[in-house]
Chain A
């Protein structure tokens, strides 16, 4: 939260995470420099890599307003930008990230320059905006709304609806890949017209190769977290996800994950946990309270180790690529795979098939969790709709209890950490009870 009161530390954070902050600083600084030097700058939604690599290969520097929402939330600036957004007449139930960004953009427009107090140097005026059809409609509607402040081109990369079971049983999968490749071709055409230059597909391929190595390592790191005690807490995951989300093209990201892997592996081999003693292993869904991450220290004090989290932030599982695929096919397969790979896995294991629930069902077993913490968000339908179903399935089928905390990703005024802490003790009683029940019913943990 904005409150900078020192919290006693109980999470044994990874040393290698310290590499991330300079990388994030650099990402934002490069955006401002690009704009100052007249090079193209994009405000981009998270697009699960497909757009990023294309933009980078075209010499575009993207910055990410959703990520900037987390930065503003953690530095306490989000309240100011949200208040500006409210005063502009936007309703308060809109996405917290969008309210932050609209407020920021309105302020920048009013001042005629980047607000001097903007965290990490701010985001300069974009050349264009890139929306994404993945996850929710807000992620292109919000940029359309922003044109009232910055009338620059808005492009949206469309995606087919991907949570359909049918996808894995028929040729819909390949049809969707073709559709997505077409979308990327159209996006490249848009960029070539806008920037007056041709794309270098060899560069796209180089970036993609780097990305595939990043995915593999990042995935292996998370696999190591199945160890008991878990060597890496969700707090480190949420820090370390940034390069894996926004910088997969970059050799520095690959180097980072090499170092993280070595550190996590060393901890695993030595039996070192992120929380000692690890009394309870927790799983977190979905988006964290970026304004109050120190709050997890208080839960760690109770022996709560968060061992897996936020399915939407995880890298895709390894997959076999088709030989003969074009670079764009390969690129879009990864983006598509991160959204549908879990459906295939769930189907193979006969798990309940319902959206993101499959991830958590799978993880609850693989990471052997004692409890499931759901974070229902006032301003995000996408990350909230399925939480009750996930909680019910986990409790009924795996005897893993859940506790819900209400809040928001950006707006700390709707989050009550004291209430969660107050209820933690009772939840431990519930976790103890279900631990006994799992044993009694012959579950593995």
Chain B
């Protein structure tokens, strides 16, 4: 597929990710989703196209994924984030057997065998156990979210967070702070709580093969450590753990085009324009 370009756009609850792929990554942009993702999707796409130095018209196929995938007006096809994450992870880690993805507002586990999704499990009903949980607590603690991982590694006596609700956990943390418990011990306790939830969720799949940890929370070194402790094995992480969904979307788009070409059938491509669509 020399000379052809494929775009994958993953609209998550908090971040939008775009990959432009043509025999390797030509453009890669991560931007905030914001409250109106239809409005921002094209802006993130434009940035990625600028990186790849191609106009939008040069893109042969666009696949949208993620929570906001239905609302991407310029996508040729929508594919579920579970399929896209699996495909993206396999690109980076061909031996992956299990994916644990913790994003802004959901967490999921995906089991892969023979390069395909075999099973999956998801939690998107409760903020506890997601990146949003860490954001709320970081704000309460007055800590930059990027510092949470390194800080937690200094913990000497991590606390036990007993609340399973973000709001109540926040109150619990305030109470612990007032008791003079060191911030690093509290953060380590939070990581332990989230990792425990993720582990229990993924265990339903019977964890096998290499475990790959993706999503924004995978950038947190404290979370990685806590999850590895629960799993009893190392986890693999992409250099940029946020982009596996977009990467998978681009690659699945490429494979669809290849398959269509092989079979001699024309693939349906939209008459698309990179324009803003708004709901508000």
Contacts and interface: CB of A to CB of B under 8 A. Distances in A.
Contact of A406 (B80, B113, B125): B125
Interface residues of B, number: 16
A116 to B, nearest CB: 36
A423 B122 contact: yes
A117 B80 CA distance: 43
Contacts of B79: 425
A199 B119 CA distance: 56
B266 to A, nearest CB: 23
A351 to B, nearest CB: 21
B80 A433 contact: no
A422 B119 contact: no
A426 B83 contact: yes
B117 A430 contact: yes
A419 B122 contact: yes
Interface string A353-396: 00000000000000000000000000000000000100000010
A433 B114 CA distance: 9
Contacts of A419: 122, 124-125
A285 B118 CA distance: 20
Contacts of B80: 422-423, 425-426
Contacts of B82: 423, 425-426, 429
B204 to A, nearest CB: 7
A429 B204 CA distance: 18
A169 to B, nearest CB: 33
Contacts of A430: 116-120
The 7 closest A-B pairs by CB, nearest first: A426-B82, A425-B80, A426-B80, A433-B116, A429-B117, A426-B83, A430-B117
Nearest to A396: B206
Given A395-B119, A423-B120, A388 B204 contact: yes
A426 B124 contact: no
A432 B118 CA distance: 9
The dominant DSSP class at the A interface is helix
Interface residues of A, number: 17
A435 to B, nearest CB: 11
Interface string B110-136: 000110111111101100000000000
A166 interface: no
Contacts of B116: 429-430, 432-433
A425 B83 CA distance: 8
Nearest to A414: B125
A211 to B, nearest CB: 41
Nearest to B121: A404
Contacts of B114: 433
Interface in B60-102: 79-80, 82-83
A26 B118 CA distance: 48
A426 B83 CA distance: 6
B125 to A, nearest CB: 7
B113 A433 contact: yes
Interface string A200-213: 00000000000000
B8 to A, nearest CB: 16
A30 B254 CA distance: 64
A430 B122 CA distance: 15
A401 interface: yes
Contacts of A433: 113-114, 116-118
Which of A401, A416, A432: most chain B Cβ within 10 A? A401
